[in-house]
Amino acid sequence: VPVNAQRGYMRLLRIAEHHARVVGVSTRSPWLKRIRFSAPELVESFDGHPGEWIRLWVPDSSKGGLLRQRGYTVAGFSYEGGWFDIDVVLHSPDGPASAWARAVRPGAEVVISFSRPKEHLGGTEPLTLLADTSSLPAVEAICEHLAAGSREIRVFLDAQGHDVAGLLSAPGARVVITEDPVAAFASASPQEGGFVWARLERSRVSALKAVLKAAGTPRSSVHAQAYWIKGRGFA
């Protein structure tokens, strides 16, 4: 295994590593691959909150197979079956994770880290989700989780040029497909956003923070996280 400082730090932080085996690969769309892993011991530590995510370690072929860590949302899992799914965007240019997902076959073994990250979705106030294709699995998990309740949900989604009409499952949400979720949100009364959850490309998260600041939105009503960085690898 190549030396990898990041993995060493995670061990020091006692972030658990698990071995997982790919047991299924399917195509949700030509650009979105669903991968099923068998990892009974890891699945036992999931608590099932929407947007729960894992860190997948994948080899970077441009760096002699150095392992890189990339975040992926748990798109579904079974305690009984000991399996879980992730949906991986195959993007262009490729990165180590999308290249791995493009080529992966059942039987492949990977290391996965998991540290019980928590999602922040506020309370009962209206919920605004700003997302793109990388956070589409999280949007689906959140909408499904909240579907039984009466919470108002708005989604501003950048489909990044893809057709998501027959793909996206966001029960109970009002979905706006837009090339710029931050601009669309800004022109649709950001003062009434309720709790704002955003998972976007890094510069968009910065743009959103400026919009929210100008609208006087308290920081306690916002949870925004960069999911990828335009023009460079994530770490």
Is residue 69 a contact residue for ligand FAD (CB under 6 A)?
no
In the list 39, 50, 98, 186, the residue contacting ligand FAD (rule: CB under 6 A) is: 98
**Residue whose beta carbon is closest to ligand FAD:** 95
Nearer to ligand FAD, 42 or 97 (CB): 97
In the list 77, 84, 114, 228, the residue contacting ligand FAD (rule: CB under 6 A) is: 228
Other beta carbons within 10 angstroms of residue 78's beta carbon come to: 13
> Of 64, 40, 66, 43, whose CA–CA distance to 54 is shortest?
43
C-alpha distance from residue 186 to each of 21, 89, 124, 213 (Å): 43, 27, 22, 11
Half-sphere exposure of 33 (CA within 13 A, CB side): 19
Token pair listed for 29 = 């769309």
Nearer to ligand FAD, 43 or 89 (CB): 89
In the list 31, 37, 57, 72, the residue contacting ligand FAD (rule: CB under 6 A) is: 72
What is the closest distance, in whole angstroms, from the C-beta atom of residue 191 to ligand FAD in the complex? 28
In the list 50, 52, 73, 193, the residue contacting ligand FAD (rule: CB under 6 A) is: 73
Is residue 76 a contact residue for ligand FAD (CB under 6 A)?
no
Is residue 234 a contact residue for ligand FAD (CB under 6 A)?
yes
C-alpha distance from residue 169 to each of 31, 32, 119, 149 (Å): 16, 14, 19, 16
Is residue 227 a contact residue for ligand FAD (CB under 6 A)?
yes
Give the span between the Cα atoms of 102 and 89, in whole angstroms: 9
Give the span between the Cα atoms of 4 and 219, in whole angstroms: 35
**From 7-15, 19-27, 36-44, 222-230, span contacting ligand FAD (CB under 6 A):** 222-230
Q: Using CB under 6 A, which residues numbered 140 to 179 contact ligand FAD?
A: 160
**From 4-12, 81-89, 106-114, 169-177, span contacting ligand FAD (CB under 6 A):** 81-89
Other beta carbons within 10 angstroms of residue 119's beta carbon come to: 18
Is residue 70 a contact residue for ligand FAD (CB under 6 A)?
yes
Token pair listed for 174 = 């009002």
Q: What helix, strand, coil percent values describe the chain, rounded to 5? A: 25, 35, 35
Nearer to ligand FAD, 72 or 195 (CB): 72
Residues that bind ligand FAD (CB under 6 A): 53, 70-73, 86-89, 91, 93, 95-98, 133-134, 137, 160, 227-234
